[in-house]
Amino acid sequence: MNKSEEVKSILKGIVTEIENDWNSKERETHTMEKFLELPWLNDGSFYIENKKNKDELKGIYFRCEHSDFTSERLGGGYFVIHEPFGSKCSPDYLFITPNGIFGVEDKSNNQEKIEWNTGSPGEDKIITFFHKTEKKIYLFTSLEYGWTKEIGDEYYRFKERIKEMASEEFKKHFHKYGEAFQKLTYYARPHIIDGNNIANSIYDPTENNVNIILERYLDGNVTAVPTIINKKKEYVQGKLF
């Protein structure tokens, strides 16, 4: 099997090994262990032990082209990092390859709904959704939402503006109550509520974009480009990160 097929097999096959009562951390730990059983894939967590490296990598992942950072920076080869930017930040796994980087986000629910918490469907990542009731894994990407890099940039600016506005409004309304209040700050945490039915509205049974992202970064097939699927399920050209 190609590297892309091996990783996809883990993502799809994990459903036969996990239990419905496993929490996300148990599921993620088990998945990471399966990744590291692949002889060609290494744990890249050593790289982000240096805060400068971690901050730079985070900036590239969220703000730049994903081909801008390759495993040459780590000495070459293929690496995966679990929770590279912390347990509260997407993605759950970051793959660093000779062809660039891509994320994998782990989600689960008893129904066809996703809670994005502080994250979003964006960043050109692969999303694994474990439907506990069906005991089935759905694999899809940011582009099944139509979430392009341009939209991601706009969302980042929106999110930062909302945090600044919330902080200023808190100061305006509460700092007038004295010195103790003036030492309080307010942080607005972003939270996207997703009302989409994943199985019916988002998931593409061909998993074409999933295959393209895996093949691009793991097998070096840089010619294929993921596509956005509109509401009529017609394919239109999308832009790769």
* pLDDT tens for each residue of 197-231: 998 899 999 999 999 999 999 999 988 777 876 54
Q: What is the model's pLDDT at position 231? A: 45
pLDDT at position 190 is: 87
Nearest to 130 by CA among 140, 118, 120: 140
Instruction: Specify the 3-state DSSP secondary structure of 159.
Output: helix
Residues in the chain, pLDDT under 50: 231-241
Give the pair of three-digit tokens for residue 42: 């290494």
Under 8 Å between Cβ of 78 and 40: yes
Q: What is the pLDDT of residue 5?
A: 97
Q: For residues 78 and 231, what is the distance between their CA atoms, to the nearest angstrom?
A: 36
Which pLDDT value is given to residue 88?
A: 83
Residue closest to 80 by CA, chosen among 41, 49, 46, 106: 41
Counting DSSP H helices and E strands in the chain, the numbers are: 6, 8
pLDDT at 235: 44
Token pair for 144: 């099944």
Cα–Cα distance list, 74 to 39, 45, 55, 86 (Å): 17, 10, 15, 20
H or E stretch covering 101: strand 100-109
What lies within 8 Å, CB to CB, of 153 at 6+ separation is 63
User: What does the pLDDT read at residue 238?
Assistant: 47
Which residue, among 80, 85, 40, has the nearest Cα to 61 in the 3D structure?
85
- The CA distance from 219 to 165, in Å, is 44
Rounded CA separation 153/196 (Å): 22
Structure confidence by residue, pLDDT tens digits, 155-188 = 999 999 999 999 999 999 999 999 999 999 999 9
d(CA 133, CA 169) in angstroms, rounded, equals 43
Query: Nearest 5°: CA angle at 228, between 63 and 65?
Result: 20
